Structure 1
Amino acid sequence: MAQLYYRYSTMNAGKSIEVIKVAYNYEERGKKALVLTSALDNRYGIGKIISRIGIEKEAIIIDDETNILSIFLQENVKQKMDCVIIDECQFLKKHHVEELIEIVDSCNVPVLCYGLKNDFKNELFEGAYWLLVYADKIEEIKTICWCGRKATTNAKMIDGKIVKAGEQIQIGGNELYIPLCRKHYNDGRIAE
């Protein structure tokens, strides 16, 4: 029986490499993975999932208006899809998650979603909220703070200081965000 998976973490935990690895595992066994990513994350080009260690994978881009179920059904006619894998799932909207549920429940195809849970203000993203509500399996991909504790927050840094106000979505990498444990996020300390 297919399930909806939500695998979340902070920045720099290896989510994109995990997406690429899972897609590769399916494809190596002769299976077809429908790989999707958000149009918002264009740091490395549009329609590409690129890990920080340099491995990349082409992906279909989705935006707020995209109907994922329609894309799945169109691609499934061309070639049977064995799974759906989504990177940057925090940017999904409620209707996207409902479409993923339909793929799982009506088409019996597993859907694996990878992304952040909370933003730099420690608030849930919309996609994270609905995945926490509906996912059959929720798993954390762990990484650590500079102190060695488990990182649970994505701190936004400007001029070497943590910022906790502003627009929720600002695309960036190591130059803008750092994973921190709760203690150092609350203290505002980004290093010893």
Structure 2
Amino acid sequence: MAKLYFRYSAMNAGKSTALLQVAHNYEEQGQKVCLYTAAIDNRYGTGKITSRLGPQREAAIFDAEFDFFENAPAVSCILVDEAQFLSPAQARQLHKLAHVRGIPVICYGLRSDFLGEPFPGSSYLMTLADTIEELKNICTCGKKATMNIRVDEHGKRMTAGEQISIGGNDRYHHVCGRCFYHG
């Protein structure tokens, strides 16, 4: 039976690397996969899933209007990077895809934003996913990082702003709960 999986973490835990490894594993067995990433994330170019370690692959993109259920290709597995940017309806489409069409769907994304607020897509994935897995990362203090903070161009923590602001290590840091509140 196919499932919907949600694999989440704070930033820099290796979500994209893990996704690329899963794609490789399927393809090594002669199975076809379809990779998706958010159109809004253009840090490495639109339609590219890129690990900070270097590996990169082309991927189909999804935006707010994309319907996963209606546009799903015949594949052995669907892999979604930057899943926090899914709409609630898209999370439900992926759940339906796994259970009605029997295609495993594995989503990778952040659980919360820089203020500790949930992303709508992640909230729905936490609710609908048949399997939820946390990818671990560590804070600079050595504790498990579970949160993200946004910093400005001077490295000063930001405590207000739009929920979505695309950036990498220069804009975001992963921290533990203690450092999130005392940082």
Q: How many residues align?
A: 182
Question: How big is the shift at 1:151?
Answer: 0.3
What is the distance in 2 between the residues matched to 1:157 and 1:118? 16
CA deviations 1:146-179 (Å, max 9, x no partner) are 0110001101111222112110000000000000
Q: Which amino acid in the other structure matches residue 82 of structure 2? A: E
Question: How big is the shift at 1:98?
Answer: 1.4
Q: Which amino acid in the other structure matches residue 94 of structure 2? A: L
Pick the aligned partner of 1:117 from 105, 111, 114.
Answer: 111
CA-atom RMSD in angstroms? 0.7
User: What are the residue-to-residue correspondences of 1:62-77 with 2, within 5 Å?
Assistant: 62-72=62-72, 75-76=73-74
Q: Which amino acid in the other structure matches residue 169 of structure 1? A: I
2:176 aligns to what? 181
Question: How big is the shift at 1:51?
Answer: 0.4
2:155 paired with 1:170: no
Question: How big is the shift at 1:109?
Answer: 1.0
Question: How big is the shift at 1:71?
Answer: 1.9
Give SS of 2:118's match. coil
Pick the aligned partner of 2:96 from 87, 91, 102.
Answer: 102
2:43 aligns to what? 43
Which deviates more, 94-103 or 144-153? 94-103
Q: Percent identity?
A: 47
The two structures have a TM-score, normalised by structure 1, of 0.93
2:79 paired with 1:85: yes
What is the distance in 1 between the residues matched to 2:20 and 2:164? 24
Structure 1 consecutive aligned stretches of length 4 or more whose deviation exceeds 2 Å: none
CA deviations 1:72-131 (Å, max 9, x no partner) are 1xx22xxxx101100000000011111111211111111000000000000000110100
Q: Structure 1: any 5+ residue segments left out of the alignment?
A: none
Give SS of 2:66's match. coil
1:34 aligns to what? 34
Q: Structure 2: any 5+ residue segments left out of the alignment?
A: none
Give SS of 1:163's match. coil
